[in-house]
Amino acid sequence: MAELGEPAKIKNYIFFEVEILDPKTKGQLCFLDKVEPHATIGEIKCLFHKVYPQWYPSRQALKLDPKGKALKDDEILQNLPVGTTATLYFKDLGPQVGWTMVFLSEYAGPLFIYLLFYFRLPYIYRHKHAFTSSPYPAVTLACVCHSIHYIKRLVETIFVHRFSHGTMPLRNIVRNCLYYWGFAAWLAYYINHPLYTPPYYGNKQVNYALAMFVICQAGNFSINLTLNNLRSDGSKARKIPYPTKNPFTWLFFFVSCPNYTYEAGAWFSFTIMTQCVPVGLFTLIGFIQMTIWAKGKHYTYIREFKEYPDLRMPIIPFLL
């Protein structure tokens, strides 16, 4: 007979016990007996889901400490710093939405909202301007560039991107859509306004900005394909991305997240092309957010890989 405090043994096979508690009350929500030592957190979530059907696995966060970080689904029970009875704390993450649906919602909105302003549908501007078109080529080019940008994002969402996490909280998609849709309407309103005037340096400014925009879009797409190929085997393990024969990927020599570098460059060129204050503000906010993401990924690479290239910076070569 096994003594108290020892794992249960059946035919020389060791099983663990898992106790899942409410982090606030410390009350027991579930007790799982005879859990295999090689069971992953994801499998434990599935067992918990059988007891509480309303909390499907992607809605659960299991922690070793009520204020600690959530355990990853691929972490193995016997490798955790727990005793014979593993005590885990449960957090309800709320209703979840798949990342593909998140991105489709975020990117489809700006695409169609911008076109409403470009074609000057009734009730947006004065009635006499309904269904009219702007005489300036910069306005049409801006519409084409904006549409291509979001069409590219939609295509990448469906065919290119691989997501480390399957879902995100429903409340976040509402916030993100308000951000993308709201800014799309704001900048579209001014760019397509009947009183809009072209950039100060005219076609020369527009054409140079257009060339930069096309280069940045091609670069961003190339980087996303390269990152996709890192996980072509279906693995979710993090790997160091390296430049390929594609010249657009050579930015990997200097930065950890060239996809953000190209993205920022595309919106900077769009700002120059339109010479519009709302676009500049959207570019600035986006650059700040992408810099935060790039720094986080950069320092994660440094922590995980001792051989990580020293020359790389998070987002701007030799600077940031």
Per-residue pLDDT of 149-182, as tens digits, reads 999 999 999 999 776 667 888 888 899 999 999 9
Beta-carbon contacts of 206 under 8 Å, excluding residues fewer than 6 positions away, are 137, 138, 141, 198, 199, 273
**CA-based max dimension of the chain:** 90
Distance from the first to the final alpha carbon of the chain: 62
CATH class of segment(s) 18-94: alpha beta
The C-alpha atoms of residue 198 and residue 273 are separated, in whole angstroms, by 9
- pLDDT for the residue numbered 99: 81
Per-residue pLDDT of 256-270, as tens digits, reads 999 999 999 999 999
Report which DSSP code applies to 7.
Answer: P
Structural tokens at position 36: 């295999």
> What's the pTM value of the predicted model, to 2 decimals?
0.83
- pLDDT for the residue numbered 236: 67
Beta-carbon contacts of 295 under 8 Å, excluding residues fewer than 6 positions away, are 314, 315
- pLDDT for the residue numbered 164: 64
Nearest by Cα to 77 from 110, 127, 115, 42: 42
Helix (H) or strand (E) holding 15: strand 13-21
- pLDDT for the residue numbered 4: 46
CATH 3.10.20.90, the chain: domain bounds = 18-94
Residue 280 CB: number of other CB atoms within 10 A?
17
CA dihedral angle for residue 165, residue 167, residue 173, residue 176, rounded to 10 degrees:
10
**Burial annotation 141-176 (CB, 10 A radius, 16+ → b, else e):** bbbebbbebbebbeebbeeeeeeeeebbbeeebeeb
The C-alpha atoms of residue 77 and residue 38 are separated, in whole angstroms, by 6
Nearest by Cα to 192 from 265, 254, 142, 122: 142
Structural tokens at position 168: 């995100």
Nearest by Cα to 214 from 145, 290, 111: 145
- pLDDT for the residue numbered 2: 46
Collect the ranges in the chain with pLDDT lower than 50.
Answer: 1-4, 10
Q: Alpha helix (H) ranges present in the chain? A: 41-51, 99-118, 137-159, 170-191, 202-230, 258-274, 277-304
Residue 76 CB: number of other CB atoms within 10 A?
13
Beta-carbon contacts of 197 under 8 Å, excluding residues fewer than 6 positions away, are 136
